[in-house]
Structure 1
Amino acid sequence: MRQRKFGKTGLTVSEIGMGTWELGGREWGDIGEKEAVDLLQYAFEKGVTFYDTADQYGGGRAERLLGEAFSVLGDRVVIATKLGYELDSDGWISQGGTVPAFNASRDYIRQAVEGSLTRLKKDAIDIYQFHGPPPAEVWDEAFGTMEELKAEGKIRFYGLCLGNKAQALKAIAETGISSLMLTYNILNQDMSKPVMKTAAENGIAVVARQPLSSGLLSGQLNADTEFAENDYRKTWPREKFLADLERVEQIKSVIGDKARSLPQAALKFILAHPAVRCVIPGMMSPAQVDDGIATSDAAPLPTAILEKLREN
């Protein structure tokens, strides 16, 4: 597994990390706790050292699984978790009407960090990220609180997940973020310019999320695919799903035989961007972990193929 420097933090991480939204359950179907812990430890044994999670994944379950799997490893793994969505008494997102309630106040951040530290069984969170941009009215308060937590040793670094171009550029210019987690894949390249370029120029690590576009670039979905009732993809509009499948077929024709598989090509495309420090596919089995390792070891995509894919 190839390693990359994580911006200007001094951390080194595996270029292919592991997202844990799927391990939280409910939104993706169920996975047993022992199976999940075994999978996390298998990934570490194979060289994966970066793990992304959030306090709301599985009602805190994903963080607890990481704590169970890695509490004795200390600095040998880097865990990035997220906060912001208000949680109910069971740890699930509190629905404020139809839109989840987002809270980035000083008091809420301090409450949230203690919960994550407990579930992760850590003295300090490696990378603490807002799970969306703080509202304008608490922007300064929110990032100021992150600086306080860093000074107190409760977090090592902090970052921002998601947001639009203007919000990402504002965070780069005005705050002390060390990382940006953005959606970036062959099907969605909107953040490539100017956000990712600006981040790289400022030593801010970019983590690419949804590299396989929630399975569209896995090579395993087709027009007959039926999603489980507790799989969030069940809510995808049918017409959009079919249109995306057509785009995937066009992408496959561009790649041809230049990669072992469509997922490998999708990850190699992302890793070819100089701003990207780590990509975080969801992994639900040892075979998918092995695929990630093979992807890291594989040769880069030819420049001509990359250029065509960037036109997609």
Structure 2
Amino acid sequence: MKIVELGTQGLKVSQEGLGCMGMSTYIYGPSDDKESMATLRRAVELGITFFDTAETYGMGHNEELVGKTLTGIRENVVIATKVGFGFTDEGQIKVVDGKRVVDGSPQNVVRAIEGSLRRLQMDYIDLVYLHRIDPTVPIEETIMAMSKLVAEGKIGHIGLSEAAAGTIRRAHAVHPITAVQTEYSLFERGVEANRVLDTVRELGIGFVPYSPLGRGFLTGQFKTDQLHQTDFRKTDPRLSGENLAVNLQIVDALTQIADARGVKPSQLALAWTIAQGCVPIPGTRRISYLEENVAAADIVLTQDELTKINEVAPIGITAGDRYTKANMSYVNI
């Protein structure tokens, strides 16, 4: 696995990372700690050094799982986590009027990072993202608080998740932003339309696409009737009704390109994100899928293939929003 520099602040990571969310939440159905830990260890064997978690994943469970599995090889891995939601005294996300509370106040950010350090069993965290942007707190105040933790050696680098181009610029003016994480794939190319991708490239900020496989849709194996009852994709606007029928045509077209190359649709999709200069973090808790994803890092697409891909999956072709209306209110702020 190739090692690349994420952004221009000196952070070096594997060309492809591992998203760990599904190992600790029911968002994609039940998970198994033993299987997840085996997958984490196999990822290290395959050369992955970049692991992505968050305070909210399993209400701290995911950080504990990642920490327990990787602390013995701390010097060989790069750990990224995310903070920025409000929590109750009982350790649950605060909810007001049915919506999760985003809290970018300096005191909450400090509280969250201290908690992440404990759960990860680590003295420092390589990269901490602000999980969502709090519109009630100036981004400058939040970043200043995180900058102080950098100075104290508790975190190495600062990142943003699902931030608008203007917010990224304001944050970067306070403290260098190393990476921005946002959903990006052949199923979701909004960052190209809203200038987020142009902005990070201009500022020398690394870009980390989450859900680079369109929440599994771009694997070509997606079946709604096989989803667990707790799987949030049952309510995904793009994966139901007329939207699903339209979007399946995109996958069919991409599958034809993948077949011609002799690779899986998922590998084509990951190779495409890498070709855009990004470091994708496909999530999985299964070794077989992990190995397929890792193999995609060695695929170099030709200009002809990139042109064909762009023709069948251009910006804006996907039918439906990428989240429900409530969750769309948290992005691009």
Give 1:215's aligned residue. 216
SS state of the match for residue 181, structure 1? Answer: strand
Q: Could you say what secondary structure the match of 1:110 adopts?
A: helix
Partner of 2:247: 244
**Which stretch has the larger CA shift, 249-258 or 231-240?**
249-258
Q: State the AA in 2 paired with 1:61.
A: H
**Partner SS for 1:213:** coil
Q: Which moved more, 1:78-87 or 1:170-179?
A: 170-179
User: Per-residue deviation at 1:78?
Assistant: 0.4
Deviation at 1:172, TM superposition (A): 4.2
The reply to whether residue 177 of structure 1 matches residue 177 of structure 2 is: yes
Which residue is equivalent to 2:275?
272
Determine the C-alpha separation between the residues in 2 that align with 1:190 and 1:137. 25
Letter in 2 for 1:225: D
TM-score by length of 1: 0.92
**Which residue of structure 2 aligns with residue 121 of structure 1?**
121
- 1:108 corresponds to which residue? 108
1:4 aligns with 2:4: yes
CA distance 1:58–1:110, shift in 2 (3 Å):
same
1:306 deviation in Å? 1.0
Question: Partners in 1 of 2:11 and 2:164 — Cα distance?
Answer: 26
Per the TM alignment, residue 285 of structure 1 is displaced from its structure 2 partner at its CA by 1.0
Asked if 2 retains the 8 angstrom alpha-carbon contact of 1:172 and 1:199, the reply is no
- C-alpha displacement at 1:173, in angstroms? 5.1
The sequence identity of aligned pairs, in percent, is 31
1:202–1:166 distance in 2 versus 1, CA, 3 Å: closer
How does 1:1-312 map onto structure 2 within 5 Å?
A: 1-89=1-89, 91-135=91-135, 137-172=137-172, 175-192=175-192, 194-222=195-223, 225-237=225-237, 238-239=240-241, 240-274=243-277, 276=278, 278-298=279-299, 300-311=300-311, 312=314
Q: Which deviates more, 34-43 or 233-242?
A: 233-242
* Shift in Å, 1:134: 3.2
CA distance in 2, matches of 1:70, 1:119: 12
Deviations 1:240-272 (A, max 9, x none): 233222221233234441241100000000000
Provide the secondary structure at the position in 1 that maps to 2:215.
helix
Q: What is the DSSP-based 3-state SS (H/G/I as helix, E as strand, rest coil) of the residue aligned with 1:132?
A: coil
**1:132-174 per-position Cα deviation (integer Å, ceiling 9, x unaligned):** 1232533221011011111111111111011334434444455
Count of aligned pairs between the two proteins: 308
Distance in 2 between residues matched to 1:92 and 1:234, nearest whole Å? 24
Residue type at the aligned position of 1:284: R
Question: C-alpha deviations, 1:110-133, integer Å up to 9, x for none?
Answer: 110111000111111110100112
Answer whether contact 2:220 2:252 (CA < 8 A) is retained. Answer: no
Q: What is the rounded CA distance, in whole Å, between the counterparts of 1:185 and 1:43 in structure 2? A: 22
* Alignment check: 8 A CA contact 1:259 1:265 kept: no
CA contact (8 A) 1:82 1:131 kept: yes
- SS of the equivalent of 1:185 reads coil
Q: Distance between the aligned counterparts of 2:76 and 2:211, measured in 1?
A: 25
Where 1:212 maps in the other structure, the secondary structure is coil
For structure 2, list consecutive stretches of 5 or more residues without a partner in the other structure. Answer: 315-333
Deviation at 1:180, TM superposition (A): 0.6
Cα distance in 2, alignment partners of residues 2 and 11 from structure 1 = 14
SS across alignment from 2:220 = coil
Moved more, 282-291 or 249-258: 249-258
| 1-structure distance, mates of 2:38, 2:259 | 35
Q: Which deviates more, 148-157 or 25-34? A: 25-34
The CA distance in 2 between the partners of 1:259 and 1:191, in whole Å, is 29
Deviation at 1:96, TM superposition (A): 1.7
Deviates more, 1:5-14 or 1:54-63: 5-14
With over 3 angstroms needed to count, the CA separation of the structure-2 counterparts of 1:185 and 1:173, relative to structure 1, is farther
Indicate the RMSD between aligned Cα atoms, in angstroms: 1.9
8 Å CA contact 1:134, 1:142 repeated in 2: no
User: Secondary structure, in 3 states, of the residue corresponding to 2:160?
Assistant: strand
